Amino acid sequence: MEKALLIDITKCVGCGECSAACAAAHGFGAPTSELDGTNYTAVTQVGDLYARHLCMNCKEPTCVSVCLVGAMTKHENGPVVYDFSKCIGCRYCIQACPFFIPKYEWDKTFPAVMKCNLCYEREGTACTDACQFGATVYGDRDTLIAEAQRRVAENPGMYVDHIYGLKEVGGTSVLYISSKPFSELGFPTNVPDEAMPKLSWVVVSQIPKFAVATGVLLFGIHWITARRQEVLKAEALEREAK
């Protein structure tokens, strides 16, 4: 059963307990208002609302599709999980994310790609357990979609008629409802409804060809340089022999 989060922005009071709980669960320091290598979720104030940002854990993640070594994987129950032991540091996942979420540990000797993984190693999420106002709910995705639809339908004056994450890039495991348009809250709204791996594969599938061509070119340059050095040495020996 696919799990998800439903975040009701109208219920968030900006207390920051979700960020604090997330930081504590992952051994991070005090959270900030921006996503970074030690901050999986961030709460920002926009007017009288508070919007929480974190990895959307897409149903068909672009980050997974562009990873050449399988460091990013999508679990059947929702989370998109990163494996540091497989990562080669190419950062394609960061560049490919349509929501601009993953962050790189630039200050580390051995940096990793950091992002929310829906606390896949535990039952439920730390942020949900910490939320006292019902702004974040964890459960089966289909059940949460039905709940979001119910709230929107029963309170047309309270919510905009849109569940963010229902269709964006093929659907995500983090869903939002709000009283203001998501474009005003800092959410990307120009993303397609189609799953982006289908689009990114066109580009990624060409990488091996370019890699081979680059390898051949570099080998050629190396061979020419080495050959020139051999010729110069041979000419020098001939001059000495004379």
Q: Domain residue spans in the chain?
A: 3-201, 206-241
pTM assigned to the model = 0.81
Q: pLDDT band at 102, cuts 50/70/90?
A: very high
Mean pLDDT value of segment 61-67: 93
pLDDT of the residue at 45: 95
pLDDT of the residue at 133: 95
pLDDT of the residue at 238: 53
- pLDDT of residue 216 exceeding 50, the answer is no
pLDDT of the residue at 32: 85
pLDDT of the residue at 37: 87
Which pLDDT tens digit goes with each residue over 171-204? Answer: 999 999 999 999 999 999 999 998 877 555 555 5
- pLDDT of residue 170 exceeding 90, the answer is yes
CATH 3.30.70.20, applies to 3-201? yes
- Per cent of the chain over pLDDT 90 is 70
Closest to 72 measured CA to CA, from 42, 115, 28: 115
